[in-house]
Structure 1
Amino acid sequence: MAKTKLLIVTHEMSPFLELTKISEITRQLPQAMQEKGFEIRILMPRFGNINERRNRLHEVIRLSGMNIIIDDNDNPLIIKVASIPAARMQVYFLDNEDYFQRKYVFRDKESKFYDDNDERMIFFCKGALETVKKLGWAPDIVHCHGWMTALIPAYIKTTYKNDPTFKNSKVMYSIYDNCFTETLNVDLHKKAIMPGMTAEHTKIFEKADCNALHMGAVTYSDAIALAGEHIDDAMLKFVKDSNKPTLAYNLTENFENFYSMYEEISNEELVSIA
């Protein structure tokens, strides 16, 4: 029987970048699934504070060289890779000089939220899907962790819904409670539109705050994991009303539960949302 292919997309992962609890889960979960026979790929941004030499990152020439268009501007995408020797897993890093070569991750040294975090997010989400296409690797499950991945479910269910790489992919989104209190650029929902999409598809992201990103991701996902203890009540109600398979917070500590959920959604003939 073919191995289940699991794509993990995250903005942080131990030992490369450890900001919050996300980094622990995205380190342990893929290894636990690999031990159950899954085939794993992991994608994350190459933020400027990730040490290339210490982590032995090197460029993957055959994957690099794409341009990601945002707001009519071409942004070069460089792909680097590193291995986690203990787990025999490879992590692909998406790099771009303008968006990621900074000493800090989401805020500058005065703790001011970067004005272009919206474009950095769009670049990462588009770039992640294009990278997987170029790998020629069709995931059965795409598991997105945290707000920076929130556009990926929408893209998979619209622009990429007939793409051979993603047409059979099921999408799971993990909601964490360590988000941001600011709002992203008000034009996020316009800039995020891709071919095959209309303004209606991104309308849910219009408020550009953390809840709007989560709600948009939930709308287009096949399953949800509540991965934070202090998720906003309105958000919890939105998830409940969506009637989608959901892992409650007290169940997300146990990787067996993720395994069961992956099995459930990949075996179900779920109706396409878009």
Structure 2
Amino acid sequence: MKKVVLITGASSGMGKETAKLLLQQGYTVYAAARRVERMEDLKPLGGKVLAMDVTDDAAMVNGVRQIIEAEGRIDALVNNAGFGSYGAVEDVSMAEARYQMEVNVFGLARLTQLVIPQMREQRSGRIINITSIGGKIVTPFGAWYHASKFAVEALSDAMRLELKQFGIDVVVVEPGGVKTEWGGIAMDNLRKTSGRGVYKPLVDRIMATMPGIEKKAAEPQVIADLIAKILRTNKPRTRYHAGYMASTVLTLRKLLPDRAFDAALLSQLK
């Protein structure tokens, strides 16, 4: 029996590459995103496309119901949908902050709620939450994005403890630098929100580092390969990371006191 996987944020980047790889490996893949037209290329590969906005409860309920009615099971959920709302805490509106949390945290949590009953009934399942090294470290102007990813790390830990008794694994993937649309969207938000006024000098320094980082960023295939490995593994670890600087940054965060880490980070923005 083919394993059934639901992937959110599958219209580009890591989500789309994961969908392609899993289809090649024989999984039944439901690719979900708002931009359905950007997933048409998955259909010839056997992909099943769902229009799903993770801030729309009805869309999530209908999507999960459709999968269960068609397949009778859901073996894995890859919570990949998300974006980065960047700007100084002083500048970011509360409406924008709430939307960041709605997409990255509450949408993920609600979709997970919807698949858990089926997985409990099966006594098996795997929930893979895509966070970021930004769920362990913080950079200037990313406060709300980092808050959302820190929250998903905590949610994942709690769910792992709760769901172990039902044979459901909860795994966190923490990408480092990866070539996706994420960086461009985050920097556009930063420029619009805090690119003028008192924060402009630091914003300009961050913007100046971006071309070099983007050049060294890993291809999204790296994360797709990691997710495929997690799905194949009988007893997966609780956390995995991959991508540019992921290992280095996470190691430094463990070893350095806060002020030393702050100084190391700011030194890269000179």
TM-score range, shorter chain: 0.3 to 0.5
Report which structure shows greater RCO (CA 8 Å, sep ≥6).
2
Q: TM-score, normalised by structure 2?
A: 0.45
Answer 1 or 2: which has greater helix percent.
2
Q: TM-score, normalised by structure 1?
A: 0.44
Answer 1 or 2: which has greater strand percent.
1
